[in-house]
A and B are shown apart, each in its own frame.
Chain A
Amino acid sequence: MAEARRLPVYLLLDCSGSMSGEPIEAVRQGIKALLADLRTDPQALETAYLSVITFGSSAQQVTPLTELTAFQEPNLDASGTTALGEGLRVLERCIETEVRQSNNPEKKADWKPLIFLMTDGQPTDSWQAAADSLKQKKVTQIIALAAGPGADTSVLKQITDTVFEINNIQPETLKAFFKWVSSSIKTASQPINNAADAPLNLPPPPTMIITVP
């Protein structure tokens, strides 16, 4: 019997030193809220699979793609620099190995993966090539969040067209963001016959989140 189609969701989170203290705690709370919300949704429960990739001085996948009911919140520690480029490379590798595309006739293809990228600073490694490679493959739908005044929206704009901005990393703001992430996931697991190049159908973001044009 074939496996179910999955909606792979990757959270690519900045865990550099500047995130330590309150900001990283806000992210933890946000992920908690995200899980609690998704676990009430029957479609998300059947389809959404979550993975967490963090980047500081280096990048790693801290949680492999896991279904919601089995997902455990990872331990997030903030320290070091902002290796966004490495984060993107890890992401690309994870997608390559974890996401099923339709070129395999024996396995059901997954829904197009959804990526949420959050950063509060400037990348400290080279990221351009990794961003280009990811963009070229068109395999993902990336939603980027520039968190706080130190984040560089122009960098994020080169990674994806969909960039949002928040002015501070307060628990309430991040919670609102993750709440919105949750509703985006619910929406994304819905369109069954989305044409390949159809624009991502996102719900409107909450008021404290600013869309970067």
Chain B
Amino acid sequence: MSLTKTQIVNALQWRMGLINEDTQIKRDWSLIEDWLRGDPQQVEALAAKLSEPLVAAMAWGMMPTSKVSREWPKAATYWSTLCQHLNKQAELPNQMAEKAAALIEAEMQQAAPQPSPQPALQIAEADASRKREMSPAEISPVEAQAQTFLPDEVETVPSNRDVKQEIKIDMVSADPGDEPISTGSDNQATDTQGTIPPAADPQATDSQVTDSQPRSAPGSKWRYESVPEGLDKHEEFYSLSRDSLEGLKLIGARARGKKHKHEGTNCDDWFEFGVSGTWTIIAVSDGAGSKALSRVGAKESCRAALNLLSERLGTHRLESLENLSAGDSIARDPESGTFAAADIEHVQLALHDAMYAAYNAVEVAARGRAENPEYESSLGHQVAIDDLSSTLLLAAHTTVRYKETDFSFILACQVGDGMLAAVNRKGELQLLGVPDSGEFAGQTDFLTSKKKLTRDHLWRKTRGFFNQLQALMVMTDGVADDYFPNDPDMLRLYGDLVVNEIITLRGLNIDDFTRALKATNLPDFDDVQRADFAATVEAVTPDTPRSITIRSVAEYAKQLGLTVPEVVASPALMMAAASVGQLCDEKEAEDKLRVWLDSYYVRGSFDDRTLVVLYREVVK
């Protein structure tokens, strides 16, 4: 026997006289009664949890705005929706009651206790006193683990449903934490014996398990060990921003993966970017996880490549493109990959030379350490270039005046895994990356395998973009793998960056939002503010785990009744979602990016994460 939070909330609404009774609700209520068994502690804990949004809203209403405005954006949303519904529609009592019911339902659902992400075994190990304090929902059977976001193919909500119904359905599909709560014999057994039998549900085999984001990661088992002092220490994380050219902005961040935090090892990723002449240059690298000094290779290769490209492109201008006639493509020899236009081939050669320069720099770094006995004793052998294995992703961007419009020209090249992806101003995706990968996951090539550095290999991994650019994203596998398949999921990545307000878009206002929302399942801006398309996750940090609420463009799209590409193609829709609140206290785009990289949860994702974005803020 199991109850979802929706059922609990429905039953409570019925008790409040907000909705009519039916047999299902009465049955649910009697289950809840059985389950609480009149235990005042249990009842109070659940009631307190469910009232949190109302308390927050009222507290918000009593505080001077200046004091709390930045503290808890959610409370502001609660307050404003509450006010709106109590005032605006006062002359329509029936509808108001209906809306209020929907609102209370929505808010209570959000606040309803989350089932514990812990597996049964750990709950069984937890000490008795802690179990006493757990709300009933936290004692979840293992079957709850298999429940996460509904899969993508779940139907979207038809728009002609009445308001209450619609919100209810949305909430259910939106809420990854809306997992069955076990009542009845299982829980009784838990209370009396203090153990939960290991998973008994034959349905919960691998094929049923999806990995999309549960409310929180199984975080408690992830330890945090600081970066070790000593040879070639790389700081925990790093973020950087600068203005690019022609109104483009450049941000980048890297965050040490959970795996490295757990083991107390260095982050192996690195990135560099810069502007030289009319060119913006990006280099991103991922050190091989199995190699002790790969972080050194990552850093040296990025630096060397950036230096070489800055030097070679600094005075280089593309002229051939300005004279392209309509419909022409950029000609390239299919045998050798040579571009017909010499000025473009120059860029390709520069990229390939940057790969060689990176290789040479890594070799020098390896040789420099080979004589050092400290390295030898720490590695157990003399440093060789393989110990510095890393991938390398390079991109060079310039703006070309074409048909009286600014067009972006990008040429990109990569060795190893990771991804480069460009989104044009229509919201269309073009992948510029060609990752090397083997039969199974985690098998890739590195810069240090010299056979990967032949012209014949490199030109096949050199791709161009000539279009109006909205965003170019360059990332290591730690991010690319979480957005799979990359086509079309790189659009989801861009969408997540925008709806979490890491990338700020400008040039549209609330009227544009309203117009764009009209034809969706969230037809008012109010609906967007009220909708829940976020999940709270816990980042592994040195101190207490940091709780962060991260919005999901995929969830938002689902609630709008649209696909992710449709949402990404509409800056107004994305801006509406971004305006709901902020991700974190950090203000700068690059810091927000770093916090986001450090926090978002995908099952089985614990690699270092690095992402550099070149983007345009103005969308109109």
Contact = CB atoms under 8 A, between A and B. Distances in A.
A binds B: yes
Interface of A: 1-6, 35-36, 39-43, 45-47, 49, 64-73, 98, 101-103, 105-106, 108-112, 139, 190-196, 198, 201
A171 B258 CA distance: 35
B289 A66 contact: no
Given A36-B121, A69-B199, A193-B446, A42 B440 contact: no
Contact of B607 (A4, A98, A192): A192
11 contacts: A4-B211, A4-B605, A39-B119, A43-B606, A70-B142, A70-B199, A102-B439, A112-B439, A112-B442, A193-B389, A196-B439
A45 B438 contact: no
A4 B211 CA distance: 6
Interface of B: 119-122, 142, 145-146, 149, 151-152, 198-201, 204-206, 209-212, 218, 221-222, 258-259, 262, 286, 288-290, 294, 389, 391, 416-417, 437-446, 477, 481, 484-485, 489, 554, 602-607
A77 B150 CA distance: 39
Given A1-B212, A36-B121, A72-B200, A42 B290 contact: no
Contacts of A47: 604
A6 B206 contact: yes
B198 A72 contact: yes
Given A70-B142, A196-B439, A1 B288 contact: no
B437 A102 contact: yes
Contacts of B607: 192
B573 to A, nearest CB: 20
A2 B489 contact: yes
A41 B210 CA distance: 20
A191 B268 CA distance: 12
A172 B103 CA distance: 60
Contacts of A106: 485
Contact of A193 (B151, B211, B417, B484): B417
Given A46-B606, A47-B604, A194-B442, A69 B145 contact: yes
Given A101-B440, A194-B442, 12 more contacts: A2-B484, A36-B121, A39-B121, A45-B119, A64-B205, A73-B198, A109-B439, A192-B259, A192-B442, A194-B443, A195-B443, A196-B438
Given A193-B417, A193-B444, A6 B604 contact: yes
Nearest to A192: B289
B555 to A, nearest CB: 10
Contacts of B258: 42
**Most central of A2, A65, A98, A112 by chain B CB within 10 Å:** A2
A49 B206 contact: yes
Nearest to B604: A4
Contacts of A40: 122, 221
B122 A39 contact: yes
B366 to A, nearest CB: 17
A43 B605 CA distance: 9
In order of increasing CB-CB distance, the 9 nearest A-B pairs are A4-B604, A4-B211, A192-B289, A1-B212, A42-B221, A69-B119, A191-B290, A70-B204, A196-B438
A2 B446 CA distance: 26
A196 B445 CA distance: 9
Contacts of A67: 145, 204-206, 209
A198 B218 CA distance: 30
